[in-house]
Amino acid sequence: MSIDGAKFRNPVRPGDRLEYRMKVIKNKGAIWILEGKAYVDDVLASEAQLKAMIVDK
C-alpha cells in the first residue's frame, strides 16, 4: 500500500549480498505495518516502514 520514511544509508553495488530483515510493527485485520531494513555485510544500507494489505483473489 505504501512505503514511508525510506532512507538510503550506504550504496549497494552489483555483486553485494543484500539481506532484508523485516519486523511486524502492527497488524489490524488485513492491514500490516512492517519495519524493513536492508544490510550488506551487517552494515545498514537502507530502511523503511511498509504498509501492506493481504487480500484473497
**Degrees, nearest 5: CA angle 30-33-10:** 145
Question: Average pLDDT of the chain?
Answer: 94
Task: List Cβ neighbours of 24 (8 Å cut-off, separation of 6 or more).
Answer: 32, 33, 34
Q: What is the mean pLDDT of residues 10-35?
A: 95
Closest CA to 37 of 54, 49, 52: 49
Whether residue 13 is predicted with pLDDT greater than 90 in this model: the reply is: yes
Closest CA to 3 of 26, 42, 33: 33
2-53, CATH topology level: Thiol Ester Dehydrase; Chain A (3.10.129)
For the entire predicted model, the pTM comes to 0.79
Domain limits, the chain: 2-53
Whether residue 56 is predicted with pLDDT greater than 90 in this model: the reply is: no
